[in-house]
Homo-oligomer: A and B are copies of this chain.
Amino acid sequence: MLSKKTKYGLKALTYLASQKGNTPVQISEIAQHENISQKFLESILLSLRKSGFLGSKKGKGGGYYLIKKPEEVLMTDVMRVLEGPIAMVPCVSLNFYEKCDDCPDEDACSVHTLMLKVRDSTLEVYRNNTLADLVK
Contacts and interface: CB of A to CB of B under 8 A. Distances in A.
Interface of A: 1-2, 7, 10-11, 14, 34-36, 75, 85, 88-89, 102-103, 109-111, 113-115, 117-118, 121-122, 124-126, 129, 133-135
Given A2-B88, A11-B110, A14-B110, A125 B117 contact: yes
B121 A89 contact: no
Given A36-B102, A75-B114, A135-B110, A89 B7 contact: yes
Given A10-B114, A34-B102, A75-B114, 20 more contacts: A1-B88, A1-B89, A2-B88, A2-B89, A2-B111, A2-B115, A7-B89, A11-B109, A11-B110, A11-B111, A35-B102, A110-B134, A114-B125, A114-B129, A114-B134, A117-B125, A121-B122, A121-B124, A121-B125, A122-B122
